[in-house]
Chain A
């Protein structure tokens, strides 16, 4: 029987700070191989089908960009929240409300054609997401309410609201009673980037968002404020920073980005509103944020990895006949391993035998050195 002890490092380890996402990914692959073996599938073949085969053709890379775009957009916003020690868990809800708000024009006025339409939709999506995110921020600032629980409850509410919208007032009258809105006109669709696949402008938005937030966090006073308030609220107060204002700022920023992701997904890959518009992007983005070490540039890479878990899940379902829930399992394991590996940045791990040395033995041992 071994016991594990943590020994604090004198300073954070730069090596593990860089390596931990890679170690975590490797551990996830190993755990995944074991899981496949337990399911009775050849692990090597399964891992190939899951992680390599979805990347072998050009159109598949486009699909990866489509999956990664919302993850990156949302995660970049969440990284600001988490750095400020503010826990916005409801990005999925802000994504949904952003998608609904942005769809207002193309659904209610399907004849609009001008070049102003798309920018307006995106703007309304961002406003919708930010407004929805301002609810938990307001409750936290005004009533001291736990933002984790309120933002999460609002996810359920937003999904029921979307369900009502597409089954009720916004249902396509010509849609054979399917619960969905009219197909957006081509002027309301995000343009595709290249002829070789479906990837759209949303991916560019996500990269721009990541770079802008990276600039803010590393080059601007606001970024400094976020980091100070996150690591030491007391020190932040002395510097004249306000936690309340920060809660609003972080929630609105991440809400706006989640809303942008929502409307980009609807006007890009889907093309209409329907009861389910996200395979859990808002929750997977939490994993992306941590896997990217809360650094916007790292998040770009992490978003591609998580996007791959979605694609791999679909591929494995069709080629190996395993459940599509596998993607979620991989995502959950990945976050576990990332968090575990992050411990290595601040601590050295020591394995200690069950019998600790008796107290009087300790000085003797030290003398022997």
Chain B
């Protein structure tokens, strides 16, 4: 039983950064902005969070710094794509390139340093409950925040007036503009929210998942978060499901790589043989599974052209210059 609990816990830890980054991007895309800079904002959050945590000795300040850096970085994107109406795809890419370079440069002095880790929740009496105790009451604070974000974003998008306005902007910015809504203003906020989330996701990587700084430690998670939004057809709860599936794949391949085959020697043939077969695959193949799975999932979800068209915010990635 204990091993399953700890596997579930590691899956949750792997899924949380994907979930947070994807939820932020979902809000931006619902407002019609495609920000391909998630990977860049995330890695900047990771290096900023680690640095601030290391220098101040407080992982909480690290989390805060990561969020601020994510927002600042997203403002760069927002200024370009919204104020100057540049191409969103190319601008997002340059944000990622810049983020990967800048984080590598800022992080050179952090390599190999011991990091701060956010403490796990510990409620006397509850956390020590068998099985559910650690799953429900003993995880890191950002995990709870990620679940709260899903609930809050669902409420915001589908139950609040501002959320409705935001979705309207994403579906037709010209109509929204004609109604006197500040399209650019709303989009700035949506992009900044996406930046805050990406920064927080980065903080989770360098302050919880592996409390240290490693160059390129986001390892394509920002891109997978972008794919998750498509996979979820722009719905928050499906992002949650997708993030946990990908977390499971990510952790699964790591577990298989680390597994000791001899400990299964006494198991039945049906357990031993499949594990032996998977173990015989090169580790590089296992490492590529999350990326291959992303492709498969994207194919499955976009196969139905009409459904995709119905779900995609209609003015996604279209530049908008208000007529005056």
Chain A residues in the interface with B (C-beta under 8 A): 4-8, 87, 89, 139, 143-146, 148-150, 152-154, 156-157, 160-161, 163-164, 167-168, 283-284, 286-287, 290, 322-323, 325-333, 335-336, 339-340, 342-343, 347, 349
Contacts and interface: CB of A to CB of B under 8 A. Distances in A.
Nearest to A82: B90
A342 B80 CA distance: 11
Which 3 A-B pairs have CB atoms at the shortest separation, nearest pair first? Answer: A328-B101, A332-B98, A325-B104
Nearest to B305: A144
Contacts, number: 139
Contact of A327 (B87, B101, B299): B101
Interface stretch (B64-72, B259-267, B290-298): B290-298
A340 B305 CA distance: 34
Tell me if A's interface is mostly helix, strand, loop or mixed.
helix
Given A6-B85, A164-B282, A336 B102 contact: no
Nearest to A323: B105
Contacts of B230: 146, 149
A329 B282 contact: no
B302 A146 contact: yes
A146 B309 CA distance: 12
Interface in B247-284: 282, 284
A21 B219 CA distance: 32
Interface in B42-78: 76
Contacts of B108: 323, 325
Given A6-B321, A283-B97, A325-B101, A339 B308 contact: no
Nearest to A163: B284
B94 interface: yes
B80 A335 contact: no
Contacts of A146: 227, 230, 298, 302
Contact of B90 (A149, A164, A168, A335): A335
A126 B320 CA distance: 39
Given A8-B321, A328-B101, 12 more contacts: A139-B295, A144-B308, A149-B295, A149-B298, A150-B295, A286-B93, A323-B104, A325-B105, A332-B94, A332-B97, A335-B94, A349-B84
Contacts of B299: 139, 143, 145, 150
B99 to A, nearest CB: 8
Contact of A336 (B91, B294, B298): B91
Contacts of B105: 322-323, 325-326, 328-329
A85 to B, nearest CB: 9
Contact of A160 (B89, B101, B287): B287
Contacts of B282: 164, 168
Contact of B298 (A7, A145, A329, A332): A145
Nearest to B294: A153
Nearest to B84: A343
23 contacts: A7-B324, A139-B299, A146-B230, A149-B295, A150-B295, A154-B291, A156-B220, A160-B288, A161-B284, A163-B284, A164-B282, A164-B285, A167-B284, A286-B90, A325-B102, A331-B97, A332-B95, A332-B97, A332-B98, A335-B90, A339-B90, A339-B91, A343-B84
